[in-house]
Amino acid sequence: MVFILTFVICCNKLVDRSTQSSNNVLARVGDKIITVNDYIKRCEYVPRPRYCNSNNYIHKKIALNSLIAEKLLALEFEKLNYLTTENQKHLILGQKEQAMRQLMLKRFGYDLVKIDTNKVKNLAKLRNRKYELIFFVINKKHEQLLEKNPNNTTLNKFIKELNGDIEINSKTITKDDTILKEVEEILFFGNQNLNILYGPFNADSENILFFEIKGWSSGVDITEKQKKESWETAKDMFTERAAKQVYSNYVSKIMKGKTINYSPGVFERFSNKIAKIYLIEKDKKEAAIENRIWERKEKTNLISFDDIRAMNNNIVLTHDKKKYTVADLLGLIQIHPLVFRNKTVKPSMFLNELKYAVADLFRDIHITEKAYALNINRDTDVINTEKKWGDYIKSGVLKGGPGFGLSSKKPPAKALTAKIDSLQNYYSSIITIDTDKFEKISLSTIDMSVIYSNQPYARLEPDFPILTDDHILDYGKKVVFNE
């Protein structure tokens, strides 16, 4: 089968504090830096342990000491000439290249959007609507229905033409409900018509949906605060949609003419084996990934890539006239884990979903190649991301693995805290802290675990480093950074 590589944006809003400028230096530990942005995200985008999860001055200092401790352990790792493993290198490189693609989206998407005030106003109005819908869902085995929906008919007329006993349902829909993207597009972004049949839409892998709008009511923003919030939300929605469209057009030019030819037989056997990795519970898969990164010997029931190595030399696909073996494809996947467009993949549909996931993998590879050609790998944020994940890995190795449980309540062991204290003293002369900036920082006290949707690496930030509960800044030098 030949797949034309088309571009599908598979991400939520990525342009947030994670892609803002990171030059606002808060602390330096030798050649390593912690920016104000780093500090806030490491404290807010992953849960902090209870002994430092507030916004008071003591807890904020514990958090800063913890991030500095991570850098100190990374320095020790380098001083001892330790080396990261291949799996750890893959993670660091993968995080770096994902950051590069995010900056491509920003540069060739978000940065090119011009706000259309009239369209934003319309979006703000649609967001306040409450729709009354009638609908029915039928099994896809009735394929003739897909061709029988004439223009400008109503749901009742359509059902009469089918001569079928079909149950009609009704539902009230607002912007806060979870609905199909096609339905959301019509109700909150498109042109709405009463008493017109819409459909068919794929409700899931087995059923199709038809619906009709019977009416709607519109809420009204009264206070200035409500009006401002509606406007800002609508503006963000407009910007995100417009950015995706602009970027999609840009990537389409990169991908023009590129195809994938999946080798019959070989790809099916590869799919059957790799399905055992992906069609498992999320917690088991994440445990196996952690074991691989930290070189743990713990056994799991999860099949690994090692179980597929017998097929290593088989040609699994051809892309741009280059033949890829199973070993070649696995090498790419280890740096860029597969992302499936549908989050719930049934075993019977896995082969087809895998083809799309592999196509998206090659799309991202071409975007990354373009990013390298544009020197985006030299961007400050990309360099900072690479170093941040590298230091997280290095410090975790010296600590003996992360052990960063999301519900951790206990402070680090006294021996570890004592080790951090000695490193603070030893490296004090190369540690500088901008306390003026630090004292102005305010942190959220809400535990969050922020992730990307539909990205190879879901976590925005490494786990919070549980290395010390010391709140005293009695080392290093106070400075004022001008960056």
For residues 11 and 135, the model is more confident at: 135
- Cα–Cα distances (Å) from 205 to 141, 180, 292, 308, 345, in that order, read 11, 13, 33, 28, 9
Model confidence at 104: pLDDT above 80: yes
Q: For residue 251, which of 367, 356, 359 has the smallest C-alpha distance?
A: 367
How much is the pLDDT for 454? 87
Average pLDDT across the chain, whole number: 86
Confidence at residue 3, expressed as pLDDT on a 0 to 100 scale: 42
Residue in this structure with the two tokens 């079909």, named with its chain if needed: 166
Q: Is residue 200 reached through a cis peptide bond, with omega within 30 degrees of 0 on the bond before it?
A: yes
Q: State the pLDDT at residue 281.
A: 60
In the chain, the largest separation of any two C-alpha atoms, in whole Å, equals: 84
Q: What's the pLDDT at 290?
A: 65
Q: How far is CA 203 from CA 179, 181, 263, 415, 431, in A?
A: 9, 10, 31, 56, 57
Q: 249 pLDDT exceeds 90? A: yes
pLDDT attached to residue 311: 87
First vs last C-alpha separation in the chain: 53
For residue range 269-311, what is the model confidence (pLDDT) as tens digits?
999 988 888 887 666 666 666 666 666 655 544 456 667 878 8
Closest C-alpha among 397, 387, 388, 389 to residue 77: 397
The pLDDT value recorded for residue 483 is: 60
Q: What is the pLDDT of residue 362?
A: 97
183 contact partners, CB below 8 Å, separation of at least 6: 173, 198, 201, 209, 211
In sequence order, the 6+-apart residues with CB closer than 8 A to the CB of 130 are: 172, 173, 174, 216, 217, 218, 219
Q: Which of 283-287, 364-368, 417-421 has the highest mean pLDDT?
A: 364-368
**Which of the residue ranges 22-26, 91-95, 416-420, 475-479 would you say has the lowest mean pLDDT?**
22-26
Phi first, then psi, for residue 172 (nearest 5°) are: -95, 130
Q: How confident is the model at residue 176 (pLDDT cuts 50, 70, 90)?
A: confident
Token readout for 384 is: 């900072």
Q: What is the mean pLDDT of residues 167-188?
A: 90
Q: Which of 64-78, 127-141, 173-187, 407-421 has the lowest mean pLDDT?
A: 407-421
Distance of CA 438 to the CA centre of its chain: 29
Return the pLDDT at 282. 60
Residue 205: pLDDT over 90 = no
Which candidate, 212, 246, 316, places its Cα nearest to that of 105?
A: 246
Q: Per-residue DSSP letters for 119-165? A: HHHHHHHHHTEEEEEEEEEEETT-GGGGG---TT--HHHHHHHHT--
Q: What pairs with residue 207 in β-bridges?
A: 139
Average the pLDDT over each of 335-344, 386-395, 397-406, 420-429 and give the range with the smallest value.
397-406
In whole angstroms, how large is the CA radius of gyration of the chain?
A: 26
Q: Which two tokens stand for residue 198?
A: 């819409």
Q: Which of 100-104, 219-223, 310-314 has the lowest mean pLDDT?
A: 219-223
Q: Of all residues in the chain, what percent carry a pLDDT higher than 90?
A: 60
> In the predicted model, is pLDDT for residue 22 greater than 70?
no
Name the amino acid, one letter, at 32.
K
For Cα atoms 131, 137, 139, give the angle at the middle one, nearest 5 degrees. 160
CB atoms within 10 A of CB 409: 8
Q: How confident is the model at residue 173 (pLDDT cuts 50, 70, 90)?
A: very high
pLDDT grade, residue 157 (50/70/90)? confident
Q: How confident is the model over 201-207, as a mean pLDDT? A: 82
The most confident of 144-158, 230-244, 273-287, 288-302, by mean pLDDT = 230-244
Q: Which of 278, 274, 237, 282 is nearest to 126 (CA)?
A: 237
Most confident of 10-24, 111-125, 398-412: 111-125
More confident residue, 343 or 168: 168
Average pLDDT over residues 140-156: 65
Given a cut of 90, whether residue 19 has pLDDT beyond it is: no
Encoding tokens for residue 232?
A: 């800002």
What does the pLDDT average to over 74-80?
95
Q: What is the pLDDT of residue 106?
A: 96
Model confidence at 341: pLDDT above 80? yes
Q: Tell me what pLDDT residue 147 has.
A: 59
CB under 8 Å to 155, separation ≥6 — which residues? 134, 135, 136, 168, 197, 210, 211, 212
The mean per-residue pLDDT over the stretch 45-52 comes to: 93
